[in-house]
């Protein structure tokens, strides 16, 4: 009986002590897990000047649906893309139709509906040297590469098109080219 009283007294005592000051945080175990360490605009913690503004770990993959393209914009890069890159999407009517839609928006003004280089901007002589696709040695790899990096007077179209959309356009450009070669 006596020990029970002692236990009760301790419990009551502990609860009174722990409620002593409501405005202050109570005892916390591992406070780092409750209170995050604030960083200032320069990425420096207020405590201890530890810089935290670090680059993502090498190989980090964005979760934003963006797929990195690490083949550089050089002649070697162009050749590498031509030799190694393959279209990862299936050759379906649906992809081809989407490719046509996007091509009409982003490419036909220069390259023409048929890919013969006779788009409006070419007719009005705004851009020179727009090729007929049949005169270039193209495959899915170098077409994708040129969409990503552009080539001479042609600018990059990487920001206008998402990953899958680019490959849909590639598929459509290849189909135009094979028509032109007939
Ligand atoms: C502002 C005009 C313009 C637009 C828009 C444009 N291109 Fe081009 N494109 C060019 C010119 C100019 C060249 C010739 C570049 C060179 O070889 O000097 C070219 C070349 C190419 C080539 C041949 C590259 C090679 O390796 O020979 C491909 C393929 C191509 N464009 C695809 C596209 C696609 C796909 C789009 C749309 C996403 C597009 N272009 C939009 C002007 C344009």
Per-residue pLDDT of the chain (182 residues; tens, 9 = 90+): 577 777 677 666 565 555 556 777 677 777 766 766 665 555 555 555 555 556 667 777 766 667 789 999 999 999 999 999 999 999 999 999 999 999 999 999 999 999 999 999 999 998 889 999 999 999 999 999 999 999 999 999 998 999 999 999 999 999 999 999 99
Residue 107 Cα: closest atom of ligand 1: 37
At residue 12, the pLDDT reads 61
Question: Does the beta carbon of 157 lie inside 6 Å of ligand 1?
Answer: yes
pLDDT of residue 68: 80
pLDDT for 6 equals 75
The pLDDT of residue 5 is 79
Q: Given this model, what pLDDT does residue 60 score?
A: 72
Q: Is the CB of 169 under 6 A from ligand 1?
A: yes
- Tokens 């206008």 belong to 160
Q: Which residues fall within 8 angstroms of residue 90, CB to CB, at 6 or more apart? A: none
User: CB burial class (10 A; 0-12, 13-18, 19+) of residue 102?
Assistant: buried
Q: Is the CB of 159 under 6 A from ligand 1?
A: no
Distances in Å between the alpha carbon of 176 and those of 32, 61, 142, 150, 154? 60, 34, 15, 19, 19
Predicted pLDDT of residue 113: 97
Region of residue 61 (phi > 0: left; psi between -120 and 50: alpha; otherwise: beta): beta
Residue holding tokens 């605009």?
Answer: 41
Q: Among 102, 105, 112, 131, say which to mutate for ligand 1: greatest number of ligand atoms within 8 Å of CB.
A: 131
Note whether 87 and 171 are within 8 A (CB). Answer: yes
Centre of ligand 1 from the C-alpha of residue 65, in Å: 25
Whole-number Å distance, alpha carbon 174 to ligand 1 midpoint, is 13
Tell me, using a 6 A CB cutoff, whether residue 85 lines ligand 1. no
What's the CA-to-centroid distance between 158 and ligand 1, angstroms? 13
CA dihedral 124, 129, 133, 139 (to 10 degrees): -140
Instruction: Give the per-residue pLDDT at 55.
Output: 67
């Amino acid at each position: 009986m006596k020990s029970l009283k002692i236990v009760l007294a301790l419990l009551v005592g502990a609860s009174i002590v722990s409620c002593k000051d409501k405005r202050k945080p109570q005892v916390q175990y591992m406070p780092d897990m409750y209170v995050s360490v604030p960083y200032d605009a320069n990425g420096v913690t207020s405590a201890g000047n530890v810089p935290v503004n670090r680059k993502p770990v090498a190989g980090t993959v964005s979760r934003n649906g963006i797929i990195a393209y690490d083949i550089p914009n050089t002649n070697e890069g162009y050749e590498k893309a031509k030799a190694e890159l393959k279209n990862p999407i299936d050759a379906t009517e649906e992809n081809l139709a989407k490719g046509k839609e996007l091509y009409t928006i982003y490419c036909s003004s220069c390259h023409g509906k048929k890919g013969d280089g006779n788009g409006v901007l070419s007719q009005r002589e705004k851009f020179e040297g727009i090729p007929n696709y049949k005169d270039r040695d193209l495959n899915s790899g170098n077409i994708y590469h040129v969409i990503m990096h552009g080539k001479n007077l042609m600018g990059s179209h990487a920001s206008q098109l998402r990953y899958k959309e680019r490959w849909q356009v590639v598929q459509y450009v290849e189909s135009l080219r094979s028509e032109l070669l007939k």
